[in-house]
């Protein structure tokens, strides 16, 4: 998981609709009814998500115009209400909304900050199903306060994590509300449209355009959806146990990138031996057609079934990329199959991805960025930094928006997992991992859920032990290593985050 660069917003957000629809008939008055809460109460992003309903399914229909470089789109959301709603809201930013229909009937709309408020003609009853259809235009190049769009010379890709999917499509933009997705991507001649999931159909529209339709077999959190358009070649190969592997590669760089792409089958085989069968219908890499420094500020992003990379990273030797490729692959299990229930639970994603990525590195005999060659040596070094990181970046499972992607969530998370393995033994630790993945597959999980599984599987209450490691302000003693010491806190010690001029950079130890 990488956090993309934030750019400063202009005085007025481009393309943001701020007026009520004038085409709708009389509507329910939200002041006298029960408008849905415009938040899910996330501890890191308190304004993200919306309550009063859930979204079981999205259908996204996007058409890219290579001349204007704009995207005309229709998002169709199937909602199930959890309460009576005189008004509901979606997360939306930078979308030029043309019309909103609720069950086929025009609905009043209002843009308020990053919320698209929708008022039906009559309140929606609790525990009913409704369909919301939003037609809009988006500009992938628009300057917004934050954006998921990655414009490329031949189209775009997207990196929605953690809170920017709603700059691409209106949604309930929180990982606790995972949904089934279908996609229809229409592109002009010479380009391909690709999305998360598997290809269902390809339709020649007879006017030089082609529509590509994709469907996800498993639900997807909005923050890990992938939609991309470009001059691509699709490279298919077979993974272990017949798993279809699909890479989406810039045509001009396909040959140069092949050595990196060819590594995936063995990577999948290695992780399946430790975490079980790959959880999705396909996997592959998307080295999107941009190496620009301002395209996005990360190395890889685990968008579901199709990991996003900058091409230049993948042109390096295997020992320079293999560990991080494993990191992103592990996210298919921790982060994608089992998503964080809140953004405070990010360490479950990043700690696990770095844990297995480092194990893979050391097993292959590759020294890490510190010149260390064993997990024990790296954990001893990380342990010494523990109190400093807790002071400057907070406890592992208690981030805020500013330090969410600090090293504390990555290596700090690895240290927690290492301590648990030391506490319960390797075989019990493996059973905890497999039980957790199976129990919360295709769902979202809290840190408390992991603690409960660890206690259940180990046959002992691990809550005190793990809470000290995850929430304590001082680093606990490491089981099995009574000689390990923590360096006293000093303002001169290096901070765990690595930021320059307000931009985020990779903090994964697998790089």
289/430 Cα distance (integer angstroms): 39
Burial of 37 (0-12, 13-18, 19+ CB in 10 A): middle
Alpha carbon 98 to its chain centroid, in Å, reads 28
Whole-number CA gyration radius for the chain: 23
pLDDT tier at 27, thresholds 50, 70, 90? low
53/102 Cα distance (integer angstroms): 14
Q: Which of 143-147, 254-258, 298-302, 356-360 has the lowest mean pLDDT?
A: 298-302
Q: Which of 33-37, 53-57, 349-353, 356-360 has the lowest mean pLDDT?
A: 33-37
Of the two residues 34 and 424, the one the predictor is more confident about is: 424
388/378 Cα distance (integer angstroms): 16
77/212 Cα distance (integer angstroms): 20
Inter-residue contact 245 to 265 (CB < 8 Å)? yes
Buried b (16+ CB within 10 A) or exposed e, 74-99: bbbbbbebeebbbbbbbbbbbbbbee
pLDDT tier at 28, thresholds 50, 70, 90? low
**pLDDT tops 90 at residue 213:** yes
Alpha carbon 219 to its chain centroid, in Å, reads 13
**pLDDT tops 70 at residue 502:** no
326/264 Cα distance (integer angstroms): 9
Q: Percent of the chain, pLDDT > 70? A: 91
Strand 443-445 to 338-340 pairing: parallel
Q: What is the pTM of this model?
A: 0.92
Residue 30 has what pLDDT? 53
- Mean pLDDT throughout 331-349? 98
The packing angle between helices 375-384 and 407-424, to 10°, is: 120
**pLDDT tops 70 at residue 395:** yes
- Mean pLDDT throughout 427-456? 98
CB atoms within 10 A of CB 403: 20
Alpha carbon 456 to its chain centroid, in Å, reads 29
The packing angle between helices 447-458 and 426-439, to 10°, is: 130
270/71 Cα distance (integer angstroms): 40
Residue 448 has what pLDDT? 98
**pLDDT tops 50 at residue 498:** no
**pLDDT tops 90 at residue 386:** yes
Inter-residue contact 143 to 123 (CB < 8 Å)? no
CB atoms within 10 A of CB 438: 12
456/9 Cα distance (integer angstroms): 48
- What are the tokens at 165? 């999917």
Phi, psi of 428 (to 5 degrees): -70, -40
Residue 506 has what pLDDT? 65
Q: What is the pLDDT of residues 253-263, one digit of tens each?
A: 999 999 999 99
**pLDDT tops 60 at residue 464:** yes
**pLDDT tops 70 at residue 29:** no
User: Helix, strand, or coil here: 71?
Assistant: strand
Alpha carbon 47 to its chain centroid, in Å, reads 18
Of the two residues 31 and 81, the one the predictor is more confident about is: 81
Mention every residue, 6+ apart, whose C-beta is less than 8 A from residue 506.
Answer: 2, 298, 299, 498
| Residue from 224, 445, 420 nearest 342 by CA | 445
Q: Which of 201-205, 375-379, 506-510 has the lowest mean pLDDT?
A: 506-510
Residue 294 has what pLDDT? 75
Q: What is the pLDDT of residues 220-279, one digit of tens each?
A: 999 999 999 999 999 999 999 999 999 999 999 999 999 999 999 999 999 999 999 999
- Mean pLDDT throughout 301-311? 96
Residue 490 has what pLDDT? 83
Residue 6 has what pLDDT? 30
427/355 Cα distance (integer angstroms): 16
- What are the tokens at 461? 């209450």
Alpha-carbon dihedral sign for residues 99, 104, 106, 109: negative
46/401 Cα distance (integer angstroms): 10
Buried b (16+ CB within 10 A) or exposed e, 331-360: bbbbbbbbbbbbbbbbbbbbbbbbbbbbbb
* DSSP letter assigned to residue 252: G
Burial of 173 (0-12, 13-18, 19+ CB in 10 A): buried
Instruction: Please provide the DSSP assignment of 27-49 as one string.
Output: ---TTTS-BPPS----SSSTT-S
276/202 Cα distance (integer angstroms): 33
């Amino acid at each position: 998981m990488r956090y993309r660069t934030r750019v400063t917003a202009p005085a007025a957000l481009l393309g943001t609709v701020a007026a009520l629809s004038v085409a709708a008939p009389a509507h329910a008055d939200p002041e006298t009814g029960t408008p849905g809460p415009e938040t899910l109460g996330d501890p890191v992003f308190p304004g993200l998500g919306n309550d009063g309903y859930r979204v079981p399914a999205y259908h996204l229909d996007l058409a890219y115009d290579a001349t204007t470089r704009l995207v005309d789109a229709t998002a169709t959301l199937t909602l199930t209400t959890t309460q009576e709603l005189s008004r509901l809201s979606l997360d939306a930013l930078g979308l030029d909304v043309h019309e909103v229909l609720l069950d086929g009937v025009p609905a009043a709309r209002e843009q308020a900050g990053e919320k698209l408020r929708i008022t039906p003609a009559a309140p929606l009853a609790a525990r009913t199903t409704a369909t919301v259809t939003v037609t809009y235009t988006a500009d992938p190049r628009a300057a917004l306060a934050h954006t998921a769009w990655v414009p490329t010379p031949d189209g775009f890709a997207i990196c929605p994590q953690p809170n920017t999917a709603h700059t691409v499509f209106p949604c309930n933009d929180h990982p606790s509300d995972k949904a089934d997705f279908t996609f229809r991507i229409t592109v002009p001649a010479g380009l391909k449209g690709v999305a998360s999931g598997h290809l269902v159909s390809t339709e020649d529209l007879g006017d030089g355009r082609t529509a590509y339709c994709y469907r996800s077999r498993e639900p997807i959190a909005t923050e890990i959806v992938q939609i991309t358009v470009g001059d691509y070649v699709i490279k298919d190969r077979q993974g272990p146990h017949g798993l279809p592997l699909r890479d989406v590669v810039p045509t001009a760089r396909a040959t140069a990138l092949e050595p990196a792409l060819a590594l995936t089958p063995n990577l999948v085989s290695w992780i399946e031996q430790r975490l079980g069968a790959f959880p999705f219908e396909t996997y592959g890499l998307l080295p999107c057609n941009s190496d620009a420094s301002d395209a996005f500020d990360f190395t890889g992003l685990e968008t579901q079934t199709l990991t996003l990379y900058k091409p230049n990273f993948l042109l390096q030797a295997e020992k320079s990329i293999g560990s991080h490729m494993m990191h992103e692959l592990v996210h298919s299990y921790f982060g994608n199959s089992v998503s964080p229930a809140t953004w405070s639970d990010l360490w479950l994603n990043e700690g696990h991805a770095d844990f297995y990525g480092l194990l893979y590195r050391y097993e292959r005999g590759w020294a890490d960025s510190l010149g260390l060659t064993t997990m024990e040596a790296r954990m001893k070094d990380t342990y010494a930094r523990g109190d400093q990181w807790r002071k400057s970046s907070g406890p592992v499972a208690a981030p805020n928006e500013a330090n969410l992607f600090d090293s504390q969530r990555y290596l700090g998370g690895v240290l927690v997992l290492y301590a648990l393995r030391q506490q319960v033994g390797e075989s019990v630790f493996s059973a905890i991992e497999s039980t957790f993945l199976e129990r919360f597959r295709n769902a979202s999980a809290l840190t408390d859920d992991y603690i409960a599984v660890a206690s259940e599987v180990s046959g002992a209450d691990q809550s005190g032990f793990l809470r000290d490691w995850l929430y304590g302000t001082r680093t606990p003693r490491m089981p099995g290593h009574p000689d390990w010491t923590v360096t006293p806190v000093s303002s001169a010690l290096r901070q765990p985050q690595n930021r320059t001029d307000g931009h985020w950079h990779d903090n994964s130890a697998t790089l």
